[in-house]
């Protein structure tokens, strides 16, 4: 359950508007550290609500998702299938994929048990950088530290940074979701996959769409 919690938290972190003006989205190290720390703080301060699925959904939607580049991630998941989609289909898939992130992982946050977040040492990022990786550690008593690498990209028009992927134990969450959904899009079509995601989201299930 601990690993499930970590993967869920980090996938969300590793993936549209900025919700909190106090977070410096033009400095990737400050941004991702602040988002992670405020999320862990709310989990620690609301232990009595951890079993409430609506609390966990709200936490994901309000504290994490605003700093995730969902559109970029969704387009990466569609891959070469993107060329065969209309603008409306891309918008509908992005919306369903965003909800899929929340629906799939909200229940996993219920396994949080006061794990410690160890933030990275701050580094100044050069102005010409547009892709970086930031490493955290998740620490739990009597267990080895789990190394987490978040991948972030800069919007060159706004200079704002957002996360789009994370790697834990050599597993890329974006690659995992691409492997799950891209073949379905190719074989069933984008509309069918959108419908599958929407149905999955209604059930708030942690089960993979592929296993349905």
Q: Please give the chain's pLDDT, 212 residues, in tens.
A: 555 555 555 555 555 333 444 789 999 999 999 988 888 788 888 888 888 888 888 888 888 888 989 999 999 999 999 999 999 999 999 999 998 877 666 765 666 677 788 999 999 999 999 999 999 988 888 888 888 888 999 999 999 999 998 787 788 888 988 999 999 999 999 999 999 999 888 876 545 565 55
Q: Can you tell me whether residue 137 is helix, strand or coil?
A: strand
Distance (Å, rounded) from C-alpha 114 to C-alpha 117? 9
CA atoms within 13 A on the CB side of 116: 8
The DSSP call for residue 99 is H
Phi, psi of 147 (to 5 degrees): -90, 130
- Full-prediction pTM beyond 0.95? no
Q: Can you tell me whether residue 164 is helix, strand or coil?
A: strand
| Tokens standing for residue 196 | 């599958």
- Give CA separation, 212 vs 58, 88, 196, 197, in Å: 26, 26, 9, 11
Distance (Å, rounded) from C-alpha 167 to C-alpha 10? 8
Distance (Å, rounded) from C-alpha 190 to C-alpha 183? 10
């Amino acid at each position: 359950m601990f690993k499930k919690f970590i993967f869920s938290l980090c996938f969300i972190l590793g993936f549209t508007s900025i919700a909190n003006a106090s977070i410096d989205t033009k400095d990737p190290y400050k941004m991702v550290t602040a988002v992670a720390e405020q999320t862990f703080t709310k989990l620690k301060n609301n232990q009595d609500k951890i079993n409430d699925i609506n609390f966990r959904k709200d936490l994901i939607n309000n504290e994490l998702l605003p700093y995730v580049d969902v559109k970029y991630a969704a387009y990466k998941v569609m891959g070469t299938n993107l060329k065969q989609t209309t603008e409306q289909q891309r918008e509908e898939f992005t919306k369903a994929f965003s909800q899929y992130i929340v629906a799939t992982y909200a229940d996993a946050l219920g396994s949080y048990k006061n794990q410690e977040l160890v933030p990275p040492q701050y580094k100044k990022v050069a102005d010409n950088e547009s892709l970086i990786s930031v490493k955290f550690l998740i620490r739990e008593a009597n267990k080895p530290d789990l190394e987490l690498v978040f991948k972030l990209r800069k919007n060159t028009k706004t200079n704002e940074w957002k996360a789009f992927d994370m790697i834990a134990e050599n597993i890329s969450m974006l690659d995992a979701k691409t492997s799950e959904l891209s073949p379905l899009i190719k074989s069933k079509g984008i509309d069918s996959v959108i419908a599958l995601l929407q149905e999955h989201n209604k059930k708030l299930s942690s089960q993979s769409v592929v296993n349905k």
